[in-house]
Structure 1
Amino acid sequence: MPGQALEKRTKAFAVRVIRFVESLSLSRAMESVRVQLIRAATSIGANYREANRAESKKDFLHKVSIVGKEASETFYWLELMDALGLGDSAERMALIQECNESVAIFTRIGRTLKTRLSRSRSRLGLGRGRRKERSSDRGTQTQP
């Protein structure tokens, strides 16, 4: 799915979550859950938009990993709402399904890019475990 289409999809998801939460009459005890759900759900799209404007592939990978974490957190809050039986059941289940797909999409994007970056580093001889040699590694002693 091209970046722009996924940006639209994540924004539409955020709008649906906000509308879902607004339709609930929540107690004071549930206020923090409401805030956390909206914050996490809106962060998915906001962070993905930022990822698409990353300065490098490594920066993109970092930002997409944040998106995946936000999607996973959103999934948790939706599961909690489901366990409590809050809101319209059909809409709640649709949001859970969409969020589950988001987690899968962003996990896949992150893993694919991580693999590609790792292969690129290997081809360049920059694999893990290699580091710059320091003077102390060569047995060079410093003068007192």
Structure 2
Amino acid sequence: MFAHRCIKLSLNLPDTYLGNHIKKQLFICSTSVAANYRATCIAQSKKSFIYKISIVIEEVDESHFWIEFIVDESLIALDKCKSLLNEADQLTRIFISSKKTANLNINN
């Protein structure tokens, strides 16, 4: 699961002010992806689904940002982050596609 992998990655960050800041941010946004996706799965209306999936999209995109930042700051090597970056990109595409489909269906 994406959140678990992000947490494992962040545990490898250095124990510095920057490392701890990024660790906290990545913990928050990646676990929010999981929690909000779960809420999306039980949405009681299409409007609720669209609202909740929008939050998921924002949180997975933020997770992607922090993983890129980790690499950009040379805190963890790209080769250790590449599959997680790819997963974040794939999840973003999937969730955006789901939102687009829901938006089409809400207008019909």
Matched, 1:80 2:69: yes
Which structure is larger by alpha-carbon Rg, 1 or 2? 1
Query: 2:52 is aligned with what amino acid?
Result: K
Matched, 1:15 2:1: no
Which secondary structure state, in structure 2, belongs to the residue aligned with residue 65 of structure 1?
Answer: helix
Q: Distance in 1 between matches of 2:78 and 2:61?
A: 20
Matched, 1:106 2:95: yes
TM-score by length of 1: 0.70
Matching residue of 1:3? none
Residues 29-108 of structure 1 aligned to structure 2 (within 5 Å)? 29-108=18-97
Moved over 6 A (4+): none
Give structure 2 stretches of 5+ with no counterpart: none
Q: Which has the higher helix share?
A: 2
Q: Distance in 2 between matches of 1:109 and 1:102?
A: 10
Q: Is the alpha carbon distance of 1:30 and 1:24 closer, same or farther for their aligned partners in structure 2, counting shifts above 3 Å? A: closer
Q: Distance in 1 between matches of 2:45 and 2:18?
A: 43
Which secondary structure state, in structure 2, belongs to the residue aligned with residue 71 of structure 1?
Answer: helix
> Shift of the alpha carbon at 1:88?
4.4
Per-residue CA deviation, residues 102-121 of structure 1 (Å, 9 max, x unaligned), is: 11111110011101111x2x
Q: How many residues align?
A: 108
Greater relative contact order, per chain length (Cα 8 Å cut-off, separation 6+):
2
Q: CA RMSD in A?
A: 1.2
Which secondary structure state, in structure 2, belongs to the residue aligned with residue 54 of structure 1?
Answer: coil
> Shift of the alpha carbon at 1:91?
2.5
Per-residue CA deviation, residues 60-87 of structure 1 (Å, 9 max, x unaligned), is: 1110011001111111111111111222
> Shift of the alpha carbon at 1:29?
2.9
Per-residue CA deviation, residues 4-28 of structure 1 (Å, 9 max, x unaligned), is: xxxxxxxx11111111111222312
Give structure 1 stretches of 5+ with no counterpart: 1-11, 121-144
